[in-house]
Amino acid sequence: MDSSPLRRAVFVDRDGTLNREIEGALASPEQLELVPHAAEALATLARAGFAIVVVTNQSAIAVGALDHERLARVHRALADELARQGATIDLFVACPHLDRDGLPPYRRACPCRKPKPGMLLDAAERLGLDLARSWLVGDALRDVAAGRAVGARTVLVATGKGEREHARALVEGGGAEFFVADLAQAARTIVAAEAGSVMASPTQGK
């Protein structure tokens, strides 16, 4: 049925999409709070054959509010909690850079900070992904832009910055193919879209 040797993926933004966004840097596991039904959503997508790749801008590293070790600890805790609930993250990719306001060695106009697609391209190479058959789920228009840039289909969630970003897209464009309540609904939408049974929301293509 599926003859491509490449896997499909769902790229999932972290803060505001997978876990609640907090003020400042999320620098320790105690600050982690998953959005409702996050693990169930990821498990649904994995069962549908998608690799799950978390792609996160972490400019907190560039400004010295976070370091790689603490970020790794947060991601380990996140992966552990999801695993306890039956979900697996195939890969975490983080961008530690920031143009202008960053500190050396992270002050650079990198190819990975979303809306640029570098993290998605990196993951595609490492995991062998079929980007045109992949999806991106995020709460910001820059997530959507990164997904679009690699030809993936896109879903904007209303959690995190999502409501505001959706309102902005209605004026400025740059919206996702689908706008849904949260990650759980995003997973259902993706599975249904793959089965050919949902219509795109009216913001498509703007």
Half-sphere exposure of 154 (CA within 13 A, CB side): 26
Dihedral, CA of residue 70, residue 74, residue 77 and residue 82, to nearest 10: -160
Among 8, 14, 75, 97, binds Zn ion (CB under 5 A): 97
Cβ at position 57, least distance to Zn ion in Å: 8
If one asks whether residue 16 binds Mg ion (CB under 5 A), the answer comes out as yes
User: What is the Cα–Cα distance from 132 to 153, expressed in whole angstroms?
Assistant: 8
Among 13, 90, 165, 177, binds Mg ion (CB under 5 A): 13
If one asks whether residue 165 binds Mg ion (CB under 5 A), the answer comes out as no
Tell me, rounded to whole angstroms, the distance of Cα 117 from its chain centroid.
12
If one asks whether residue 182 binds Mg ion (CB under 5 A), the answer comes out as no
Side-by-side strand order, sheet with 91-95: 91-95, 50-57, 8-12, 135-138, 153-157, 178-180
Cβ at position 155, least distance to Mg ion in Å: 13
* Binding-site partner at residue 139 among Mg ion, Zn ion, none, CB < 5 to 8 Å by type: Mg ion
- Of the candidates 5, 7, 1, the one whose C-alpha atom is nearest the C-alpha of residue 131 is 7
The piece of 84-92, 105-113, 119-127, 135-143 that touches Mg ion (CB under 5 A) is 135-143
CB-based contacts of 196: which residues, under 8 Å, 6+ apart?
A: none
Out of 13, 90, 143, 182, the active site residue is 13
Residue nearest to Mg ion (CB): 16
Q: For the segment 138-157, give every residue that binds Mg ion (CB under 5 A).
A: 139
User: What is the Cα–Cα distance from 40 to 81, expressed in whole angstroms?
Assistant: 12
Among 95, 121, 123, 183, binds Zn ion (CB under 5 A): 95
Q: For the segment 102-141, give every residue that binds Zn ion (CB under 5 A).
A: 110, 112-113
- Contact by Cβ (8 Å): 137, 10: yes
Active site residue 13: yes
Active site residue 15: yes
If one asks whether residue 15 binds Mg ion (CB under 5 A), the answer comes out as yes
**What single string gives the DSSP state of each residue in 28-62?**
SGGG--BPTTHHHHHHHHHHTTEEEEEEEE-TTTT
- Contact by Cβ (8 Å): 159, 182: yes
* Binding-site partner at residue 16 among Zn ion, Mg ion, none, CB < 5 to 8 Å by type: Mg ion
Which residues in this chain contact Zn ion in the complex, by CB under 5 A?
A: 95, 97, 110, 112-113
Q: Which residues bind Mg ion (CB under 5 A)?
A: 13, 15-16, 139
Show which residues are catalytic.
13, 15
